[in-house]
Structure 1
């Protein structure tokens, strides 16, 4: 595919720049925070309408048996082209909770769109939708089709959305590749960490403060149980990955002990219960099942030392994912990104987890590449550059043309 085609794609997208910005502003205005999982159905309906306008044959797929705290959990699925060769575009429309309600009003400033979810990853969604539409309208999908999957629960583990896609057999292992528009900042994420999350419950016995000696203080027990986990986190941070990473990202496995915690019924009552969470992002070199056993053993040993009653629940166990940078699908993506951006991209491992894992587990080459930046995602001043969103859309269209011809 030649430079002339790249120019045609860019001209097509430039002519729709206002449409792209307007769609992103509409999506930002939907408060699809997760947790708790609000306004998911409303966001999905806006996406379906936009995809219908772009000729992407959308449908909303309801998810049976989803947790009741998710509001209208669903998947939005669309298609461009009708050939045999298959390329997946994948994204999520839930966002992390905002620091302020003002973040749900998009602000345009200095070529940027500022607001919750612009980088992670509603800006990437807009880029993928317009990239797919450009590929279709400009006749690039000669022998294939793009299937777009947009899910509702990536921020809380993606078991409901992407998990349903896999369990229902809706991901075809014969696909040539998958791309998700996560905020990779110009790099290509060909690998991502795995995840372990635990909820540790400590059980005591309540008593009035005047008779505190009759109680069992679950909070004090919790503090004792957490200490070896803090030492474990420090040890894991020193075990570095061999995968290339952003130089500003720590190369060790990262854990947060006590990201959420709580307990007790009142200030003047011995707390009869307490809990805390453990959340880790594990490098691909680590054995996740072995680390779950090790974490559980540390908790049980600390509980035995003081006679504490404790229970542990694994709330997330997701494997890492990687595709060789030498894979032909990776090489093609790097070449396309280089031609569109004017600079050769770097292959890196994402510091977090990616939904590439659901596809990589089936043998599909899977990559993260999107217009936002990870270092502003989830923050109070989250933004995406309008020009970067259009460049990413051009990459998606070009990549589809290359992989499906």
Structure 2
């Protein structure tokens, strides 16, 4: 691919040493959301906002929930042209047991050409790349025929309250195209699975293990339900096959609680059993229809005893997405 004079002018302002330094700095700021202590993304977001202000961007610091802000920064071009968004998130998943790490999880140690730290890959590095790219554009004095918008949002690893707030406040209305700076092994990712989470609770009657006939065990109908859910997954795979980019759809029971509240005991039959179902959707699947099927299957699983009842609730739906191969941004980056 031939690089234009303007592109070369911008690329000449990419500072690799600063990029590495910034990735280390941002990785060293823990930004795991910890509800028990209230610790979250604020320190990381303030670091991002400071870098944006240093390069002269119009910077907005918007609190979504206490300690959980979004940072939105704008570099204005000329001619009132289109807006390209660089999107990333400041939160990272839990580091787990620090004793299992070779180095401290937030040390951002460089070894064998890699930076090791929780969130270095997902996605402090991608966020820093967006900052460095924008900084190079600013310092090159190239006047774009459009705008750059950086969105560093909170809570991508949870309920996505950050990007929802970004949309609710109207920021997305001005965005014509977006590059999501997630790690994809340097490949363009033009499709994304959707997700639906459901909670299903089956209620029976608690009893002592020595007198099980005085109660109704909720574990058995839950076992029947999960068997039916597995068969639904197999039917969906047979219907939709393997997507070119996303592979097969799936339905995964991720949490199973019995009893659903309180402490389990070896000699007590649970009064209720609860599961969370994680649906990963590919284009063409119908989330509402799938939720209806779970309702039908839960009713069937409880049909053996009139004392059994169930509750099935959709917690969240995020639909699958696909960007066409011939979209201008895809063609330009391919």
Task: Please give the range of the TM-score, normalised by the shorter of the 2 chains.
Answer: 0.7 to 0.9
**Contact 2:31 2:39 (8 Å CA) reproduced:** yes
TM (normalized to structure 2)? 0.86
For residues 35 and 298 of structure 1, do their structure 2 counterparts lie closer, same or farther at Cα, with a shift above 3 Å needed? Answer: farther
Query: Equivalent residue for 1:156?
Result: 158
Pairwise CA distance, 1:184: 1.4
Give the match's secondary structure for 1:304.
coil
For residue 155 of structure 1, give the secondary structure of its aligned residue in structure 2: coil
Cα pair distance change 1:139/1:318, threshold 3 Å = same
Q: Which is bigger in relative contact order (C-alpha 8 A, separation at least 6)?
A: 1
Alpha-carbon distance in 2 for matches of 1:331, 1:241: 27
Instruction: Using the TM superposition, give the Cα deviation of residue 168 of structure 1 relative to its aligned residue in structure 2, in angstroms.
Output: 2.3
Deviation, structure 1 residue 279: 0.4
User: What is the deviation of 1:239?
Assistant: 4.1
- Deviation, 1:221, is 2.9
Shift of 1:178: 0.8
Instruction: Give the corresponding residue for 2:101.
Output: none
Structure 2 matches for 1:241-252, cutoff 5 A? Answer: 243-245=243-245, 251-252=247-248
Q: Which residue of 1 aligns with 2:84?
A: 87
CA deviation map 1:222-246 (0-9, x unaligned): 222211012222333344467532x
Correspondent of 2:112 among 110, 123, 126? 110
Task: Report the 3-state secondary structure (helix = DSSP H, G, I; strand = E; otherwise coil) of the residue aligned with 2:67.
Answer: coil
**CA–CA distance in structure 2, aligned partners of residues 221 and 181 of structure 1:** 44
* 1:266 aligned partner: 264
> 1:269, CA displacement in angstroms?
2.1
Number of equivalenced pairs: 319
| Structure 2: distance between partners of 1:293 and 1:35 | 34
Could you say which residue in structure 2 is the equivalent of 1:385? none
Per-residue deviation at 1:124?
0.5
Show structure 1 runs of 5+ residues with no match.
335-405
Q: Tell me the distance in 1 between the aligned counterparts of 2:96 and 2:239.
A: 33
Partner residue of 1:74? 69
**Distance across 2 between alignment mates of 1:297 and 1:51:** 52
Q: Pairwise CA RMSD of aligned residues?
A: 2.3
* Secondary structure in structure 1 of the residue aligned to 2:74: strand
SS in 1 for 2:151: strand
Quick check: 210-219 or 129-138, which moved more? 210-219
Residues 1:27 and 2:26 aligned together: yes
Structure 1 pair 242–213 and aligned structure 2 pair: CA distance change class (3 A): closer
CA apart distance, 1:331: 0.9
Q: Please tell me whether residue 172 in structure 1 is matched to residue 191 in structure 2.
A: no
Q: Would you say the 8 A contact 1:239–1:252 is kept in 2? A: no
Q: For the structure 1 residues 252 and 184, does the alpha-carbon distance in structure 2 shift closer, same or farther, using more than 3 Å as the test?
A: same
Larger radius of gyration: 2
Contact 2:55–2:138 (Cα < 8 Å) also in 1: no
**Alignment map for 1:365-376 (pairs within 5 Å):** none
Residue ranges of structure 2 left out of the alignment (5+ in a row): 99-103
Note the alpha carbon deviations across 1:87-144, whole angstroms, 9 max, x for none: 1111111122223333222221121112221221111100011111111221334322
SS, match of residue 129 in structure 1? helix
